[in-house]
Amino acid sequence: METRVAKVEFKENKLFFLLEDGREVGCPLEWFPKLWKATDEQRNKYRILPYGIGVHWEDLDEDISTEGMFKYSPPLKTL
């Protein structure tokens, strides 16, 4: 079964993809600097890509795939 995005939500500084199969996958918003710095209006102006494979924010030039949400790990910070 393919994992497809049905909806996007932002809650408590986190980005969530709500999937067609009922699951939710979320990551801290700070992992995505363009979305972190964006206004609520910019964040909520997205489109789900064909077949639900990800999400695109035209105004922010940002694309996040469903697969990427499952596999992403933030860059390591140096002390």
CB 71 within 8 A of CB 8: no
As assigned by CATH, the class of the 5-71 domain is alpha beta
- How far CA 37 is from CA of 15, 33, 64, in Å, comes to 13, 6, 16
**Cα 17 to Cα 57: distance, rounded to the nearest angstrom:** 14
Residue 54's pLDDT is what? 95
Domain boundaries, the chain: 5-71
Looking at the DSSP bridge assignments, the partners of residue 45 are: none
Tokens of 17: 């993809």
- Tens-digit pLDDT profile for residues 14-48: 999 999 999 999 999 998 999 999 999 999 999 99
Residue 78 has pLDDT above 80, yes or no: no
Of the chain, the percentage scoring pLDDT greater than 70 comes to: 87
Question: What global pTM score does this model have?
Answer: 0.84
Provide the strand spans (E) within 1-79: 5-11, 14-19, 24-28, 47-48, 54-57, 62-65
